Structure 1
Amino acid sequence: MPLYVRDDDVLALAVELQRLTGAPTKTEAVRQALRHEIERTQQARPLREKLARARAKADEIGVGGDPDFDMKAYTDALWARI
């Protein structure tokens, strides 16, 4: 689905970014800029927020729920199968 830029200032910024980065097209310049901004924003999230998301995912798949789980025995059993 196309993205149409109807703002002259945004278009000028895209052209400047294309020139500065040497991107072959304005679309590629905008793609790179959006990817960099997403990475920057994700890295700037507080650790507490990142850990909460990881814990929720672990709970969803059932990891870490049993405090008596013996990981050493489990991995030893896996190695014994090889």
Structure 2
Amino acid sequence: MPLYIKDPEVDKLTAELIRLTKTSKVDAVKAALRHEIANRKNKLPVRERLAKTLAMAKEAGPMVHLDHKQLTDEMWGED
């Protein structure tokens, strides 16, 4: 659905951002929205930001204890 905003302050802010970034109206609004979304995501608690990773780790179960040196040596074809 298209975005139609009839608000003089939004027009003024958009025009200022266009001047500062030297971009089109679409690009200025897109950049502002991306910036705000990223800003909000960064303010989420770490646990919430990492929820997907934590769920994957829980699903994978405990880590298998490996001899990482031996595994690396085998990968490189070394004894």
Name the TM-score, length of structure 1 as normaliser: 0.66
The within-5 A match list for 1:62-77 is 62=60, 65-67=61-63, 69-71=64-66, 73-74=67-68, 76-77=70-71
Post-superposition shift, 1:81? 1.6
The within-5 A match list for 1:12-27 is 12-19=12-19, 21-27=20-26
Between the aligned partners of 1:18 and 1:56, the Cα distance in structure 2 is 41
Q: Give 2:62's aligned amino acid.
A: D
Q: Percent identity?
A: 33
Post-superposition shift, 1:75? 5.9
Post-superposition shift, 1:40? 0.3
Structural RMSD (CA): 2.5
Give the gaps of 5 or more residues in structure 1. Answer: none
- After the TM superposition, which parts of structure 1 deviate over 6 Å for at least 4 consecutive aligned residues? none
The within-5 A match list for 1:1-82 is 3-9=2-8, 10-19=10-19, 21-60=20-59, 62=60, 65-67=61-63, 69-71=64-66, 73-74=67-68, 76-82=70-76
Q: What is the aligned length?
A: 75
Rg (Cα) greater in structure: 2
